[in-house]
């Protein structure tokens, strides 16, 4: 049967709710959905037909012996995710928290909760003595560390063991062996795992770092020996960058892990980052649960992951999986863990590191295998054997995870944002969507912790169907109060290279060489957005004229039959003629008539409509009544001005406000802590010189001056907290 494009219509059991779920698809006789070249949408209104079933490979056995109570030594989404599985298993949970997390979601979800101290991590979530006190007070039997914080801390695991408390993770000897990147490379080589050439030892000084880098050959990767998650990692292409990389990486490593040791290794240029999930028990059994593609990164931190990888074939999967299990068995590993590899274009793969913990992106593995990794970690820690064999593990469909961060994606692909979420609605009503989050409406994103809002996961029978669900989930995700990276995530989902699966760790920098600037509207999309904004303007004007809270007030003779408007979008003026007949808007733009349903609800956080017969899911974020709109369209938020012809004429003769000269000031690009200031009043600084360093969410950010001059004022002191756009240094 030949492929054809059309509208797939289903029903969803949500009254009066239309969910626009996927881009236009071609439906073949095989039932496979594929992306069409057309940039239009599909409505899916039936959850029963659209729902993709995840089959559990090892369902919970309530007759199996289990822990009575588990403490989660973490916060946020991972703490909430662990609590959910514990509830399903019938296990009570204990939460810990800092004073600023008193009302956090994980605290509310747990059966018990205890405050550890102030917000800084070394006084709360990294305060081992305080956590041990809570363990004794709560009569906890076991501790799940999640990821980050103490999850790979050998001393913490050993202290728990000495107290007779079970650490839900690998034994401390495995953590010691694999948590240290230098030692892990040596063990990997002995286990005949492919390794990257590099310096086999700890780098002591910046000068030694440069010498080693020269011997290995640029480019090199400078990274923290202890820890992961992109913290304490820098790529150096020359001697200067090696010196700077040593300084910043050691500072970040000390701040994040309490260990500033570094190593240097060859940087494999333009590789894919592919990791293998392993699962082992205490009886020598080990399996691998396929791979995850994690190549889309910024600053060595993952942005989007998927499972399986479009690049990995069965032969490569088997080879990587067997090496990963061999490495785990070589250190007596007995929990869930991840072995990370770099893979070049010829499918040569090299061991990168082993994460001896639960990975952030573990949900996509759960979606395609049906294995609850938290459940398995708890079972293994209790002393049960794995019931799953390697031959049981298959690949059921596809899964993608988008990391939704409180970040401004227009600043270096994501500088942190802080604030309170005054409106927050997750798109969980859309089929095949999973949201792993630790926040709710009213939650605050602070400078002290990771800026992650949610792990948004979609899954389906094919990669195309999964991308479709992700597109629509991102469009319907309502987040107000902080900047977020949904515009970038949404744009990637329709980007040609991503759709084709052409990925590498350079993806973001190759696709967006000048940085991310939001969705680039086609002429058709520009007309559609302008038309929608014109209709919103008219709807607001007609409602205001009646002073009634009615969605569709009748037009009267006091209002014009047609509205001549001008919509300003991205420096473009689009002329519109808007009229309403029989509850349908007709918009004339560039000689074409575009129809839009008249049932526009200005109060709805998600605006689902059709424009010229094509379904769209948009969000009207702000409308001040004077024609100034902020609207999310295609994932990106656009500022649009809608003016009448008379108002536009007045606008043209208004004097322009002169632009400010910002070259003589250094302002904070994000909220954070001022770690150092490299100048004082009266000093002469030159263009491009580093003048201060800001730490935000454990990442060091160097700030440089934009011109040469003499320092007039230093407005802040080292150790102070600064707000976004706050002026730190000013020149004469």
Is 223 in contact with 231 (CB distance < 8 Å)? Answer: no
* Residues 416, 36 contacting (CB under 8 angstroms): no
The pLDDT tens digits of the residues spanning 425-456 come to 999 999 999 999 999 999 999 888 888 999 99
C-alpha 113/C-alpha 129 separation (Å) is 16
Contact predicate 609/594, CB 8 Å: no
Query: Burial code of 29-51, b = ≥16 C-beta within 10 A, e = fewer?
Result: eeeebebbeeeebbbbbbbeebe
* Residue 317 φ then ψ, to 5°: -60, -45
pLDDT digits (tens, 9 = 90+) for 19-55: 333 333 222 223 333 332 222 223 333 333 457 888 8
312 with 324: CB under 8 angstroms? no
Q: Name every residue whose Cβ is closer than 8 Å to that of residue 70 and which is 6 or more positions away in sequence.
A: 82, 86, 91, 92, 93, 94, 140, 141, 142, 143, 144, 168, 378
In degrees, rounded to 5, the angle at the alpha carbon of residue 302 between the alpha carbons of residues 438 and 145 is 45
Q: Which two tokens stand for residue 82?
A: 């662990």
H-helix or E-strand spanning residue 516: none
The count of residues in the chain is 732
Neighbouring residues of 372: CB distance < 8 A, sequence distance ≥ 6: 56, 58, 60, 85, 366
Is the pLDDT reported for residue 329 higher than 50?
A: yes
- What gap in Å lies between CA 507 and CA 295, rounded to an integer? 7
509 pLDDT higher than 60: yes
* Span 533-556, average pLDDT: 72
Q: How far apart are CA 186 and CA 209, in angstroms?
A: 20
What is the greatest pairwise CA distance in the chain? 86
- Considering only 223-232, 269-278, 310-319, 692-701, which range has the smallest mean pLDDT? 223-232
Is 353 a catalytic site residue?
yes
Q: Residue 441 burial by CB count (10 A; 0-12/13-18/19+): exposed, middle or buried?
A: middle
* Burial of 247 (C-beta count, 10 Å sphere; 0-12/13-18/19+): middle
- Please tell me the distance from the alpha carbon of residue 177 to that of residue 187, in angstroms, as a whole number: 8
Rounded to an integer, what distance in angstroms lies between the CA atom of residue 152 and that of residue 158? 11
pLDDT tens readout for residues 154-168? 999 999 999 999 999
pLDDT score, position 233: 83
pLDDT for residue 23: 31
Question: What is the per-residue pLDDT across 335-393, written as a single tens digit (0 to 9) for each?
Answer: 999 999 999 888 989 999 999 999 999 999 999 999 999 999 999 999 999 999 999 99
Q: What is the pLDDT of residue 1?
A: 32
CB 311 within 8 A of CB 335: no
- Residue 375: Cβ within 10 Å count: 19
pLDDT at 196: 83
Residue whose tokens read 């839009």: 596
Tokens of 416: 């942190």
pLDDT value of position 559 = 61
Token couple for 514:
């000048």
Beta bridge partners of 709: 685
CA-CA distance, 319 to 352, in Å (whole number)?
Answer: 15
The pLDDT of residue 192: 93
Residues contacting 667, CB < 8 A, separation 6+: 725, 726, 727, 728
Local structure of residue 110 (DSSP, 8 states): S
Instruction: Give the pLDDT of residue 4.
Output: 29
Inform me whether the pLDDT recorded for 706 exceeds 50: yes
Q: How confident is the model at residue 550, as a pLDDT?
A: 55
Contact 308, 291 (CB under 8 A): yes
Ramachandran area for residue 414 (φ above 0: left; ψ -120 to 50: alpha; else beta): left
Backbone angles phi, psi at 668, to 5 degrees: -70, 120
Q: State mean pLDDT over 615-626.
A: 91
Give the DSSP H/E element, type plus range, for residue 502: none
In this structure, what DSSP letter does residue 180 have?
A: B
Q: What is the pLDDT of residue 662?
A: 80
Mean pLDDT score of the chain: 87
Neighbour count for residue 558 (Cβ, 10 Å): 7
Burial degree of 206 (CB within 10 A; 0-12, 13-18, 19+): middle
Residue 404: DSSP 8-state: E
According to DSSP, residue 593 is labeled E
Q: Which helix (H) or strand (E) holds 142?
A: strand 142-144
Res. 17: pLDDT tops 70: no
Res 545: pLDDT: 66
As a whole-number percent, the residues of the chain with pLDDT over 90 amount to: 65
Phi-psi region of 227 (alpha: psi -120 to 50; beta: other; left: phi over 0): left
Helix (H) or strand (E) holding 117: strand 112-117
User: 121: which DSSP letter?
Assistant: G
Among residues 306, 353, 366, 568, the one annotated as catalytic is 353
Indicate whether 328 pLDDT > 80. yes
pLDDT at 2 over 50: no
Tens-digit pLDDT profile for residues 66-109: 999 999 999 999 999 999 999 999 999 999 999 999 999 999 99
Q: Which of 352, 341, 320 is nearest to 274 (CA)?
A: 341
Neighbours of 308 (CB within 10 A): 21
Residue indicated by tokens 């073949």: 28
Q: Bridge-partner residues for 692, per DSSP?
A: 677, 703
pTM of the predicted protein model? 0.81
Three-state DSSP class for 214?
Answer: helix
pLDDT band at 300 (very low <50, low <70, confident <90, very high): confident
The alpha carbon of 90 is separated from its chain's Cα centroid by a whole number of angstroms, namely 31
CA distance 502 to 583: 46
Question: CA separation (Å) from 690 to 244, 678, 687?
Answer: 11, 7, 9
Which carries the bigger pLDDT value, residue 653 or residue 508? Answer: 508
- CB-CB neighbours of 56 under 10 Å: 12
**What confidence tier does 541 reach under pLDDT thresholds 50, 70, 90?**
confident
Closest by CA position to 356, among listed 162, 182, 201, 176: 176
Average pLDDT of the residues in 599-627: 91
- Is pLDDT of 655 > 90? no
> Which pLDDT belongs to residue 501?
96
Residues 205-256 pLDDT 10s: 999 999 999 988 888 989 887 766 567 788 899 999 999 999 888 888 887 7
State the pLDDT at residue 697.
Answer: 66
The angle that helices 486-493 and 463-476 make with each other, rounded to 10 degrees, is: 150
């Amino acid at each position: 049967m030949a492929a054809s494009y059309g509208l797939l219509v289903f029903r969803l059991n949500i009254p009066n709710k239309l969910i626009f779920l996927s881009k236009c698809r071609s439906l073949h006789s095989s039932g496979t959905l594929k992306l069409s070249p057309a940039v239009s949408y599909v409505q899916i209104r039936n959850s029963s037909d659209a729902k993709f079933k995840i089959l559990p490979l090892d369902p919970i056995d309530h007759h199996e012996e289990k822990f009575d109570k588990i403490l989660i030594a973490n916060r946020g989404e991972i703490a909430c995710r662990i609590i959910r599985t514990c509830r399903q298993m019938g296990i009570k949970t204990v939460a810990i928290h800092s004073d600023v997390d008193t009302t956090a979601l994980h605290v509310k979800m747990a059966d018990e909760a205890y405050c550890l101290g102030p917000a800084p991590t070394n006084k709360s979530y990294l305060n081992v003595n305080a956590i041990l006190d809570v363990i004794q007070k709560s009569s906890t039997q076991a501790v799940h560390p999640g990821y980050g914080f103490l999850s790979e801390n050998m001393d913490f695991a050993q202290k728990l063991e000495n107290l007779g408390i079970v650490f839900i993770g690998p034994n401390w000897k495995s953590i010691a062996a694999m948590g240290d990147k230098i030692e892990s490379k040596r063990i990997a080589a002995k286990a005949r795992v492919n390794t990257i050439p590099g310096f086999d030892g700890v780098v002591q000084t910046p000068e030694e770092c440069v010498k080693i880098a020269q011997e290995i050959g640029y480019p090199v990767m400078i990274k923290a020996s202890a820890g992961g998650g992109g913290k304490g990692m820098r790529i150096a292409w020359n001697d200067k960058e090696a010196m700077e990389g040593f300084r910043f990486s050691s500072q970040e490593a000390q701040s994040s892990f309490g260990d500033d040791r570094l190593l240097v290794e060859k940087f494999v240029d333009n590789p894919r980052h592919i990791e293998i999930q392993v699962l082992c028990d205490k009886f020598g059994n080990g399996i691998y649960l396929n791979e995850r593609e994690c190549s889309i990164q910024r600053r060595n931190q993952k942005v989007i992951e998927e499972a399986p990888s479009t690049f990995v074939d069965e032969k490569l999967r088997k080879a990587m999986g067997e090496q990963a299990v061999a490495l785990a068995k070589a250190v007596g590993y007995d929990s869930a863990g991840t072995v990370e590899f770099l893979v070049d274009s010829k499918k040569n793969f090299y061991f990168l590191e082993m994460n001896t913990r639960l990975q952030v992106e573990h949900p996509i593995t759960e979606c395609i295998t049906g294995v609850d990794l938290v459940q398995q970690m708890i079972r293994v820690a209790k002393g049960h054997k794995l019931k799953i064999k390697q031959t049981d593990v298959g690949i059921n469909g596809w899964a993608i995870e988008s990391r939704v961060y409180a970040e401004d994606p227009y600043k270096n692909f994501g500088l942190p944002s802080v604030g309170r979420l005054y409106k927050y609605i997750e798109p969980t009503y859309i089929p095949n969507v999973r949201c792993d989050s630790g926040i709710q409406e009213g939650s605050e994103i602070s400078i002290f912790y990771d800026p992650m809002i949610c792990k948004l996961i979609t899954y389906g029978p094919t990669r195309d169907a999964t991308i479709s669900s992700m597109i629509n989930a991102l469009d319907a995700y309502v987040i107000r109060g902080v900047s977020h990276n949904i515009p970038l995530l949404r744009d990637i989902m329709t980007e040609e290279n991503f759709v084709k699966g052409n990925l590498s760790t350079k993806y973001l920098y190759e696709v967006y060489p000048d940085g991310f600037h939001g969705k680039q509207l086609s002429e058709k999309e520009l007309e559609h957005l302008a038309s929608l904004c014109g209709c919103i303007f008219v709807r607001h004007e007609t409602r205001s004229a009646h002073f009634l809270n009615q969605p569709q007030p009748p037009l009267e003779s006091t209002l014009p039959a047609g509205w001549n408007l001008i919509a300003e979008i991205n420096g473009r003026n689009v002329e519109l003629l808007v009229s309403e007949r029989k509850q349908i808007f007709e918009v004339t733009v560039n000689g074409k008539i575009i129809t839009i349903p008249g049932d526009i609800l200005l109060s709805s956080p998600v605006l689902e409509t059709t424009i010229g017969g094509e379904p769209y899911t948009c969000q009207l974020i702000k409308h001040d009544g004077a024609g100034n709109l902020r609207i999310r369209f295609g994932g990106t938020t656009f500022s649009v001005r809608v003016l009448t012809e008379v108002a536009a004429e007045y606008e043209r003769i208004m004097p322009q406000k002169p632009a400010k000269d910002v070259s003589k000031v250094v302002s904070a690009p994000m909220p954070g802590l001022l770690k150092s200031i490299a100048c004082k009043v009266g000093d002469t600084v030159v263009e491009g010189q580093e003048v201060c360093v800001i730490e935000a969410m454990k990442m060091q950010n160097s700030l440089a001056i934009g011109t040469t001059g003499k320092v007039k004022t230093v407005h802040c002191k080292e150790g102070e907290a600064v707000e976004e756009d706050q002026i730190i240094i000013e020149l004469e």
